[in-house]
């Protein structure tokens, strides 16, 4: 069953593009990654899901119900962590969390303390005395305290130190094991790689690809490094399936996706000093999605 279904969702801010024809779906119980550079439309998509903004066209449903029409009912079971965490500055952490909890039915108030202990958060501090990372922790507790069935995280790890990130990931995994579906937006690939099963890549407001993260990394791409004796004819590698081609003095780097024999054929009669074929990192795979086409 799909928890989130986004269908041809488009949002324009006046003439300015937000997102265009975004479609993807998130299945129940999965941790779905949503990857793209800053300004690519991740937050716009998420904010439309939460009916903070109204889409220009297209639709989005959660548990089969329209996001805008049934927004208030759907949000009962959604936990959301915004990318920019701001709260009422003059309030104490515990006051903000109690205020947040007051909007939900049957909240277990002891959970606030439990979550705060896990995230090492001082509940009696004032919001304006908190560092960015600590505000993020308030956001995490606030997003999880009502035990939501759908957790939407918009760049959640910014400002958290590695230890806290680890604790946070553990927390998300625990919630996921308990049955929560997670939509995890980020521009940092390693964290998506750690946590997510499937991933949608968004660039300039449109979805470029939706893939299983393991397949993408293991089966499709190879990273080639070729060291030459003399001049390199770059055009020699003008092949389909080659991306991220860079020339560095006598060394040529590229990613290749496809039948490896085609590269081997090209390499014949080439004056090579060295040849390296490696598994690319996800960062490198994503680079060519990120680069703007001119």
Structure tokens at 14: 């006046």
Sequence-separated (6 or more) residues with CB below 8 Å from residue 193: 213, 217, 282
Pick the binder of other proteins from 8, 57, 66, 89 (CB under 8 A).
89
Cβ closest to other proteins, residue 50 vs residue 263: 50
Interface with other proteins includes 109 (CB under 8 A)? Answer: no
Cβ closest to other proteins, residue 52 vs residue 277: 52
CB of 103 to other proteins, least distance (A): 4
Cβ closest to other proteins, residue 53 vs residue 94: 53
Number of residues located near other proteins, criterion CB under 8 A: 28
Pick the binder of other proteins from 10, 40, 45, 83 (CB under 8 A).
83
Place of tokens 């990654």: 33
Of the candidates 1, 3, 4, 2, the residue with the CA atom closest to the CA atom of residue 60: 4
Answer yes or no: are the C-beta atoms of 151 and 79 closer than 8 Å: yes
Of the candidates 176, 158, 157, the residue with the CA atom closest to the CA atom of residue 166: 157
Cβ closest to other proteins, residue 154 vs residue 189: 154
Q: Which of residues 6-65 bind other proteins (CB under 8 A)?
A: 13, 43, 47, 50, 52-54
Answer yes or no: are the C-beta atoms of 83 and 155 closer than 8 Å: yes
Spatial strand order in the sheet of 65-66: 16-27, 2-13, 57-62, 65-66
Of the candidates 224, 233, 228, the residue with the CA atom closest to the CA atom of residue 271: 228
Pick the binder of other proteins from 33, 36, 41, 82 (CB under 8 A).
82
Interface with other proteins includes 132 (CB under 8 A)? Answer: no
d(CA 197, CA 39): 24
Cβ closest to other proteins, residue 150 vs residue 255: 150
CB of 102 to other proteins, least distance (A): 4
The residues with which 228 forms a beta bridge, in sequence order, are 272
Cβ closest to other proteins, residue 75 vs residue 198: 75
Pick the binder of other proteins from 87, 168, 169, 286 (CB under 8 A).
87
Residues in the chain: 294
Pick the binder of other proteins from 24, 32, 63, 80 (CB under 8 A).
80
Structure tokens at 63: 């548990």
Torsion of CA 189, 194, 200, 206, to 10 degrees: -20
CB of 290 to other proteins, least distance (A): 23
Count the neighbouring beta carbons within 10 Å of the beta carbon of residue 16.
7
CB of 135 to other proteins, least distance (A): 11
CB of 58 to other proteins, least distance (A): 15
Cβ closest to other proteins, residue 86 vs residue 240: 86
Site residues for other proteins per CB under 8 A: 13, 43, 47, 50, 52-54, 71-76, 78, 80, 82-84, 86-89, 99-100, 102-104, 142
């Amino acid at each position: 069953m799909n928890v989130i279904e986004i269908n041809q969702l488009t949002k324009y801010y006046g003439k300015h593009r937000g997102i265009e024809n975004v479609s993807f779906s998130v299945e129940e119980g999965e941790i779905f990654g949503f990857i793209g550079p800053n300004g690519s439309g991740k937050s716009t998509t998420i904010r439309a899901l939460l009916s903070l903004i109204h889409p220009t066209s297209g639709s989005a449903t959660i548990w089969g119900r329209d996001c805008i029409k049934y927004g208030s009912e759907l949000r009962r079971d959604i936990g959301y962590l915004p990318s920019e965490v701001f709260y009422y500055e003059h309030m104490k952490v515990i006051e903000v969390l109690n205020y947040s909890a007051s909007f939900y039915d049957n909240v277990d108030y002891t959970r606030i303390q439990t979550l705060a202990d896990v995230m090492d958060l001082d509940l009696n501090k004032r919001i304006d005395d908190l560092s960015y990372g600590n505000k993020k922790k308030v956001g995490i507790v606030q997003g999880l305290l009502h035990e939501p069935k759908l957790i939407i995280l918009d760049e959640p790890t910014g400002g958290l130190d590695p230890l806290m990130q680890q604790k946070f990931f553990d927390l998300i995994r625990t919630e996921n094991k308990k049955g929560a579906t997670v939509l995890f937006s980020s521009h940092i690939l390693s964290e998506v790689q750690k946590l997510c099963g499937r991933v949608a890549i968004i660039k300039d407001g449109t979805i470029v690809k939706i893939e299983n993260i393991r397949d993408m990394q293991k089966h499709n791409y190879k990273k080639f490094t070729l060291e030459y004796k003399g001049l390199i004819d770059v055009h020699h590698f003008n092949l389909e399936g080659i991306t991220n081609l860079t020339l560095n003095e006598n060394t040529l780097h590229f990613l290749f996706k496809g039948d490896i024999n085609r590269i081997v054929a090209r390499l014949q009669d080439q004056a090579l000093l060295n040849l390296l074929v490696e598994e690319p990192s996800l960062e490198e795979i994503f680079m060519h999605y990120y680069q703007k086409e001119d």
